Copies of this chain bind each other. A is one copy, B any other.
């Protein structure tokens, strides 16, 4: 299959390219960048030096039509909404990495993003690209809307609990820690090394946009309303998210019961690993362990002191939180083994 990447100079675009270059079922024909058009891709993504002689090109619809069957749109939030309809119109499949097609309800864009959605009809059609929840729909999708990175870690940690109605729906606290790559490749004071190094900076302490998609997806699983209390923190690492999820059990559960709930829900999922191990250093998920992989590591602990369950969910925000997940969706669309191109198991230490 011939694949294009629109918006290829960012971290997600570069990671998509890295993965697609090694993907046996795919040929990357096009990678666009306004800023770097005409330049070698490896001038921006230095890791790809020697791996490809591709150059960035300007975004040109007719050339994309001719050279691609499927397009990844790794464009900024608010830019995909105008572009995707045109790509669909000419018969392309689209896997969109932005937030522009994640919400089902057009009002969500008004409330959370403060703009009016120009293609509300596509919101119905778009499939939320989280394979564990929407595998069957992704298979047939024309438009896949890849989830937000912090939403992935949060939804995957919570889904089995919500689905089984085990927790108080209005006392779900997700305290997230995220690496600097999550802010993208554009320099800013918030991501300036001297300012970000060695601290823990709370940001969007309330009102973070990923809340919208987390609540949307979790509420699809249950008829009991779910409300999320979400606060992210910028920490001193590059890749990775840890979502620490504090929930309160409606009735007491034993550890085996919680295990069973998770194992049953994620039976045979290739990218869910359970981490709850009494030996060694990494007894619970740590984003350090999943760097470079498509895994979502999930662990938990029961707090007998108060009827709390702490769930820990760790991903690589660029992989499982974006590009890796995009490739997993691509594999589902292609009908091939979901792990193709995503075999990396991570490094120890890194």
Contacts and interface: CB of A to CB of B under 8 A. Distances in A.
Interface of A: 11, 14-15, 18, 21-22, 39, 43-51, 170-171, 173, 175, 177, 179-181, 183, 185, 187-203, 205-207, 211, 227, 229, 231, 233, 235-240, 242, 244, 246, 248, 273, 275, 277, 279-282, 284-289, 291-293, 295, 297, 299, 301-306, 308, 310, 312, 314, 343-350
Contact of A229 (B190, B275, B308): B308
28 contacts: A11-B194, A39-B279, A46-B281, A47-B348, A48-B348, A49-B273, A170-B306, A175-B246, A180-B193, A181-B349, A185-B192, A187-B192, A192-B192, A192-B193, A193-B196, A195-B281, A199-B237, A200-B235, A201-B281, A201-B284, A202-B242, A202-B286, A202-B310, A206-B304, A206-B308, A229-B308, A231-B244, A233-B242
Stoichiometry (number of copies): 4
Contacts of A284: 201-203, 205
Interface centre among A191, A196, A308 (most CB of B within 10 A): A196
Given A18-B347, A235-B235, 11 more contacts: A11-B348, A43-B280, A46-B281, A49-B275, A50-B345, A181-B194, A197-B236, A205-B310, A206-B302, A236-B236, A350-B350
A98 B198 CA distance: 26
Contact of A180 (B185, B187, B194): B194
Contact of A43 (B279, B289, B297): B279
Contact of A277 (B43, B51, B244, B289): B43
Contacts of A302: 206
A234 to B, nearest CB: 9
A169 to B, nearest CB: 10
Nearest to A285: B202
Given A47-B348, A227-B306, A281 B189 contact: yes
B200 A345 contact: no
Contact of A22 (B181, B229, B238, B343): B343
A50 B277 CA distance: 13
Contacts of A233: 177, 242, 244
Nearest to A190: B281
A298 B196 CA distance: 19
Contacts of A187: 187-189, 191-192
A332 B273 CA distance: 35
Given A193-B197, A246-B229, A306-B227, A14 B202 contact: no
A289 B50 CA distance: 12
Interface centre among A11, A50, A301 (most CB of B within 10 A): A50
